[in-house]
């Protein structure tokens, strides 16, 4: 019996060793390509700023983290709030939340429409939703620029309809960034919502109507609770890239309407303050991780409550 148990144990150890050896290349790639650069950024955030845009290796400093929210006056050395950074962070969070809400309002009926089509035509509608992913993000952003600029499609149409007398100044504003992010990230909201609604048992909706529930009651008490995982997944897929957006604010917002992604790039570029850029990057990643952990915890709790 002992020899049989030892043989089984050796076989199990051999299987475990084989699985680790097979997964080792993928683990090395993940560490080198993803986790490794994050450790580099974390190390840079605790180093002193170099004279020419680099860092002073081996010289510990908290100036990078200090400068995320605070600043020191160059004349009397007093400490104050970094209002410019806080303004950019607030703009990033505000526009990301609004983008998520607008894409949800647009994506929910779109996904419901696709899910209620005949099964043999749903693939066509999903295909149409995914077409923008075939195009580079920069090209899609320039396409939106042609829509909202002073001589663009939107202003030309509004003036032709005599709604406005002169072009609306949308470019290089928060509105332009919002329009661009909604256009770019809308498919990321539609697809998870459709994946949830496709599994929806529409007999429950019919039962709600049979029990004299109105449209709003059916939506609020049947449809939304059942597709909640898709709502949460789509919201996260839109909010996270919106928070770290760089190309869209750069092209549509101009230099004065920066978001946190542009602020980070500025520190590694013209600002020549790598520790501050690294600290901002780690702070952004930490905020995203907190949001994801909050989602996972709530999803697990909701799953436990509903069996």
H or E element in which residue 217 lies: helix 215-218
SS3 81: strand
Q: Which H or E run includes 267?
A: helix 260-268
Q: What stretch of H or E contains 57?
A: strand 55-60
Q: Considering the entire predicted model, what is its pTM? A: 0.84
Kindly report the CATH class assigned to 83-272.
Answer: mainly alpha
What pLDDT shows up at residue 22?
83
* Contact in structure between 172 and 257 (CB atoms under 8 Å): yes
pLDDT at 307: 45
Query: What are the residue boundaries of the structural domains of the chain, listed by start?
Result: 2-81, 83-272
pLDDT in tens, 51-79: 887 888 888 988 899 888 888 777 777 88
The per-residue pLDDT of the chain, averaged, comes to 86
Q: Is the dihedral of CA 178, 181, 183, 186 positive or negative?
A: negative
pLDDT of residue 164: 87
pLDDT (0 to 100) of residue 299: 62
Inform me whether the pLDDT recorded for 194 exceeds 90: yes
Residues 116 and 25: their CA atoms lie apart, in Å, by: 44
pLDDT at 191 over 50: yes
CA 195 to chain centre: 19
Distance, in Å, from the CA atom of 283 to the CA atom of 139, rounded to the nearest integer, reads 30
The yes-or-no verdict on residue 114 having pLDDT over 50 is: yes
Locus of tokens 């845009």: 53
Alpha-carbon distance values, 232 to 6, 16, 31, 301 (Å): 48, 36, 28, 14
Is 184 in contact with 178 (CB distance < 8 Å)? no
Q: Is the pLDDT of residue 147 over 80?
A: yes
């Amino acid at each position: 019996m002992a020899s049989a148990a030892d043989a089984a144990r050796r076989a199990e150890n051999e299987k475990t060793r084989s699985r680790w050896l097979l997964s080792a290349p993928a683990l090395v790639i993940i560490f080198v390509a993803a986790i490794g650069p994050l450790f580099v950024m974390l190390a840079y955030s605790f180093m002193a700023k170099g004279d020419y845009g680099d860092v002073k290796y081996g010289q510990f400093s908290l100036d990078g983290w200090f400068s995320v929210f605070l600043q020191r006056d160059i004349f009397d050395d007093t400490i104050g709030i970094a209002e410019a950074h806080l303004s950019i962070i607030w703009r990033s969070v505000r526009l990301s939340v609004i983008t998520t809400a607008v894409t949800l309002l647009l994506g929910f009926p779109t996904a419901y429409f696709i899910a209620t089509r005949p099964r043999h035509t749903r693939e066509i509608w999903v295909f149409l939703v995914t077409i923008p992913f075939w195009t580079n993000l920069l090209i899609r952003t320039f396409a939106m620029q042609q829509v909202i600029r002073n001589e663009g499609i939107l202003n030309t149409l509004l003036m032709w309809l005599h709604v406005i007398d002169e072009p609306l100044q949308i470019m290089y504003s928060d509105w332009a960034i919002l329009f661009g992010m909604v256009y770019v990230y809308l498919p990321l909201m539609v697809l998870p919502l459709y994946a949830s609604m496709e599994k929806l048992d529409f007999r429950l909706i019919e039962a709600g109507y049979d029990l004299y529930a109105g449209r709003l009651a059916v939506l609020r008490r049947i449809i939304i609770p059942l597709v909640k995982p898709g709502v949460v997944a789509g919201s996260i897929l839109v909010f996270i890239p919106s928070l770290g957006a760089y190309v869209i604010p750069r092209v549509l917002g101009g230099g004065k309407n920066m978001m946190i992604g542009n602020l980070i790039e500025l520190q590694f570029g013209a600002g020549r303050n790598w520790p501050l850029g690294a600290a901002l990057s780690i702070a952004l990643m930490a905020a995203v991780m907190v949001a994801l952990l909050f989602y996972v915890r709530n999803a697990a709790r909701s799953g436990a409550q509903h069996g």
